[in-house]
Structure 1
Amino acid sequence: MSDPERTGRRRVRTRAGAAAAALALIAPMAACGTADEGGIPTINLYYAPEENFQQVVDRCNTEAEGRYRIAYRVLPRGADDQRVQMVRRLAAEDRGMDILGLDVTWTQEFAGAKWILEWTGEQRSEVEEGTLEGPLATARYEEKLYAAPKNTNVQLLWYRTDLVDTPPATWDEMIEQASRLKAEGKTHQVITMGAQYEGLVVLYNTLVASAGGRIIDEEANKAVMDEGAVRALEQLQRFATAGVTDASFANAIEDPARLVFQSGGGAFQINWPYVYPALQEADPQLAEKVRWARIPGVDAGTPSKVTIGGYNLAVSAYSEHPQESFEAAMCLRSAENQKFSAINDGVPPTIESVYDDPEMAQAYPMKDTILEQLQDAATRPRSPAYQNISTVTSAVLSPPSAIDPAATADELREAIQDALDSKGVLP
Structure 2
Amino acid sequence: MLRSLPIVLAVFLTAACAATGDEGGGDTGTGGTGPITFATGRDTTAYLQPLLDRWNQAHPAEKVTLLELPEAADEQRAQMAANLQARSNRYDVLGLDVVWTAEFAENGWIIPLERGFFPLDRLLPPVVDTAVYKNKLWAVPYTSNAGLLYYRTDLIKKPPRTWADLRQQALAVTKKHDIEGYAGQFLAYEGLTVNFSEAVQSAGGQILSPDGTEVTLDPAKATIALDFLLQGLREGWIPKESLSYKEEESRLAFQEGRLAFARNWPHAYGPATAKLGKKFAVTRLPGLDGPGSSTLGGVNLAVSAYSEHQRTAQEFIRYFTGLENERRVLTDGSFPPVWTELYDDPDLIKRFPYLPVLKESILAAKPRPVSANYNQISLVIASTVAKALSPPYHEAADDVATSMKSELQEIIRTQ
Common topology (TM > 0.5): yes
Alignment of 1:163-202 (within 5 A): 163-184=155-176, 187-202=179-194
Alignment partner for residue 400 of structure 1, among 379, 389, 398?
389
Alignment of 1:115-194 (within 5 A): 115-123=109-117, 126-184=118-176, 187-194=179-186
> Match of 1:294, as an amino acid?
R
> Match of 1:117, as an amino acid?
I
CA distance in 2, matches of 1:78, 1:263: 22
Could you say which residue in structure 1 is the equivalent of 2:334?
346
Alignment partner for residue 60 of structure 1, among 55, 59, 83?
55
SS in 2 for 1:105: helix
Could you say which residue in structure 1 is the equivalent of 2:90?
96
Alignment of 1:342-421 (within 5 A): 342-398=330-386, 399-400=388-389, 402=393, 404-421=396-413
Deviations 1:220-246 (A, max 9, x none): 122221143343233233333232112
Cα offset for 1:209? Answer: 1.5
SS in 2 for 1:274: helix
Could you say which residue in structure 2 is the equivalent of 1:74?
68
> Match of 1:257, as an amino acid?
S
Cα offset for 1:256? Answer: 1.5
Cα offset for 1:362? Answer: 4.2
Q: What's the Cα RMSD here?
A: 2.4
Could you say which residue in structure 2 is the equivalent of 1:324?
312
Q: Does 1:295 align with 2:285?
A: yes
Could you say which residue in structure 1 is the equivalent of 2:12?
none
CA distance in 2, matches of 1:78, 1:101: 13
CA distance in 2, matches of 1:205, 1:228: 11
Q: Does 1:255 align with 2:230?
A: no
Contact 1:385 1:422 in 2 (8 A): no
Cα offset for 1:389? Answer: 0.7
Q: Does 1:220 align with 2:212?
A: yes
Contact 1:127 1:148 in 2 (8 A): no
Cα offset for 1:94? Answer: 1.3
Alignment of 1:4-15 (within 5 A): none
Contact 1:206 1:305 in 2 (8 A): yes
**Compared CA separation, residues 116 and 233, structure 1 to 2 (3 A):** same
Deviates more, 1:51-60 or 1:339-348: 51-60
Q: Does 1:237 align with 2:225?
A: no
SS in 1 for 2:235: coil
Cα offset for 1:388? Answer: 0.7
CA distance in 1, matches of 2:121, 2:362: 16
SS in 2 for 1:44: strand
CA distance in 2, matches of 1:221, 1:269: 33
SS in 1 for 2:313: helix
**Compared CA separation, residues 341 and 218, structure 1 to 2 (3 A):** closer
SS in 2 for 1:102: strand
SS in 2 for 1:411: helix
Cα offset for 1:347? Answer: 0.7
**Compared CA separation, residues 188 and 135, structure 1 to 2 (3 A):** same
CA distance in 2, matches of 1:98, 1:186: 51
Cα offset for 1:115? Answer: 0.7
CA distance in 2, matches of 1:382, 1:363: 35
Could you say which residue in structure 1 is the equivalent of 2:10?
none
Cα offset for 1:291? Answer: 1.2
Deviations 1:77-108 (A, max 9, x none): 23222212211111111123211111112111
The alignment-based identity, stated in percent, is 32
CA distance in 2, matches of 1:90, 1:183: 53
Contact 1:175 1:242 in 2 (8 A): no
**Compared CA separation, residues 48 and 182, structure 1 to 2 (3 A):** closer
SS in 2 for 1:384: coil
CA distance in 1, matches of 2:280, 2:334: 18
Aligned residues: 381
SS in 2 for 1:264: coil
Alignment partner for residue 272 of structure 1, among 265, 271, 293?
265
Cα offset for 1:359? Answer: 4.2
Deviates more, 1:178-187 or 1:190-199: 178-187
Deviations 1:176-217 (A, max 9, x none): 111222343553511222111111111111111122212112
CA distance in 1, matches of 2:297, 2:287: 19
SS in 2 for 1:369: helix
CA distance in 2, matches of 1:422, 1:346: 40
Identify unmatched segments of 5+ residues in structure 2. Answer: 1-25
Cα offset for 1:109? Answer: 0.7
| Greater helix content | 2
CA distance in 2, matches of 1:193, 1:49: 20
CA distance in 2, matches of 1:62, 1:83: 30
SS in 2 for 1:189: strand
SS in 2 for 1:195: coil
**Compared CA separation, residues 138 and 421, structure 1 to 2 (3 A):** same
Identify unmatched segments of 5+ residues in structure 1. Answer: 1-30, 34-38
CA distance in 2, matches of 1:373, 1:121: 26
Cα offset for 1:63? Answer: 4.5
SS in 1 for 2:206: coil
Cα offset for 1:422? Answer: 4.4
CA distance in 2, matches of 1:158, 1:78: 22
